[in-house]
Structure 1
Amino acid sequence: MERHKEKFYELFNKKSQKTIFSPGRINIIGEHIDYNGGNVFPAAIAYGTYLYFAIRDDKIINLYSDNFAEDGVESFEIDAIIKNENGAWTNFPKGILATMAKHGHRLTHGFDAYVYGTIPNASGLSSSASLEMAFALLVFEIVGKTADPVEMSKIAMEAENNFIGVQCGIMDMFAIGLGKKDHAILINCNTLEYKYAPCTLGKYTFLIMNTNKKRKLADSKYNERRLECSAALKRIQTIFEVEQLCELELSDLPQVKKALNQETLYRRVRHVVSEQKRTQLVFEALAIGDLPCVGLNLNNSHLSLKDDYEVTGSELDLIVQAAQKQAGVLGARMTGAGFGGCAIALIEQAAADTIKEAVQQAYFSAFGYNPTFYESKIVSGTAVI
């Protein structure tokens, strides 16, 4: 941290006043159902975003990221927030600032900000949501209001949807803002009700496996899947009184298939409904320490994401399958939006090195480059540190 404080001083000729840490997240299970009114089960992780800042006397905002040092400092005035059409990282804080102002949290003073992130970009561990939540808290700190992580999450989702142009759900922001040390959080994305479950894994741990295949969420088929779900819901509402796909039961699927009369849409719905059930099973299993049940449902989740929702790809499929073959692995699946990024595996800690080596060899043989592995503690949400 000292290196970054020194760099802040070099850039802005002053000391930073406060530091915010905003974690990344893994989603243990409940994939692509947050925008379908479902339950998701994420946890905040120790990889995240560090935001150093100091308030200015004028209305100038200066933004710098150590991860994009080649971009230098971008400067603009509070009342002149313009989206960069080249997709620069500064669009994320700009989106937050504009949306916060719209909701009555308008800055009267500018600030200098220095960002350092430890989440690999485009990894599926929510680097963008981590950044957004950090800047949402920064605004609350500057205007002197008590931060509400639920409001911050809603604002960050609105900024992502309307300013960035990605039709994401609220899970990433919510998990990052309301994370709790050594706990996962079950979130009802329809009502925003939530409850924690101790993530006590004993001799096991979650291994994060990064395919190192880059993907840009806005350019992926993520928005296409949302449109497919919306189209399916409209047809289903002619026979079921539901507002969200996740209100359906597994027993409803035969009628749904007949009403849709379209195989692709049916498979999308089948994933959503079955993933909702798996998420509840994993929440209950983790609460009583039934880790084999957790692992089984991780495996089934990946199959559904691969065959029914079609968001995995060859890299994610191989890394998951290679992990599933190893002794000491209870289960594995992709995490995040898919199309590259990361997978997670529930593994025996003592076998971690052996598992990593075997998965790395299989992955390199197939693609000619190595994956990256991370082991992380489960941490608390976005806060001043």
Structure 2
Amino acid sequence: MQSNSFNPQFAGKALLLQSLFLLLAVCLFGQSPATVTGKVSDATGPLANASIIIKETQKGTTSDEKGVFSIEVTSGQTLVVSHEGFTEQNVKVGAHRAFDIIMQPSGSGTLNDVVVVGYGVKRKTSVTAAVSTLKGNQVASLPISNLSNGLGGRVSGVIVKQGSGEPGRDGSSIFIRGISSTGANQPLVIVDGIPRGFTQLDPNSIESFSILKDAAAVAPYGVAGANGVILVTTKKGKSGAPSLTYNGYVGFQNPVVLPDFVNSFEYATLRNAAATNEGVALPYSEEDLRKFQDGSDPDAYPTFKNIWGDITNKNAILTNHNIEISGGAERIKYYASLGYQNQEGM
């Protein structure tokens, strides 16, 4: 006959193992990611495009146009909330799953803004090279058909020279810190990491421009960046509800200054006066002068009294329309833009 005996030592070990498994399960449950939501605002209202980054993992998102954001975070981690012109805030995640974050003005200008450089993104306070930035919205509001015409007078050290006003050929030559050689002087243009032109891009699709001007800033590009580098960053999708935006304008173009030319009769009279002074035969007779003046023979003696009215168009229309949609979640983001532009020649 077999007897069942109780072993206190074995029972204690079993109880200890059960306790350890229970404690491990609690720890794992406490460290599982959870979705945290919040709203970023200042004294005037919601703040769009605020950056929310998990300090421990560097994963992040941005707030939508209503200042609302959502992100998966583990309890105990820290959210770093920043926005241009505001003091950075650190928010410790605990039991709460919803936050109302009020940003305070930094009072230190834009030193904490991030700058796109040749090898990534850095804060302005960490950049020692000569780098200038220009936000895309500062150019999108300009009535221009060529992006190169929007940089003049807005970025230090950048000189633009427009050689023509003909539609489709009205782009400007760009010089960074002047003309540096007798050969090619145009800067290297990089659009989203790809060397290409940017003049025909839709201004509404531009996020920012970064102009690299000195040797330290252009070093990653070698001799190709000898004349400076222009980094163009286009817009990308952002987490949040779908956002549909329309931008458009209609304008009129007119010549600013038109030289005042003499007409045919005045020109012929001045030629006769010059011939008299030189003591040579008059190029135009009295009959020629009369026909120039009264326009009786416009084919042989055109009057040219209103030369600019014949070769220029007043109130030439320039119109631009753009529709863009963006949105997405933490893992998938989307952005699409459709633009239309029409420019009549003067």
TM over 0.5: no
TM-score scaled to structure 1, two decimals? 0.23
Relative to its length, the structure with more helix (as a share) is 1
Q: Given the two structures, how large is their TM-score scaled by the length of structure 2? A: 0.25
Structure with a larger share of its residues in strand: 2
Structure possessing the higher relative contact order (Cα contacts under 8 Å, 6 or more residues apart) = 1
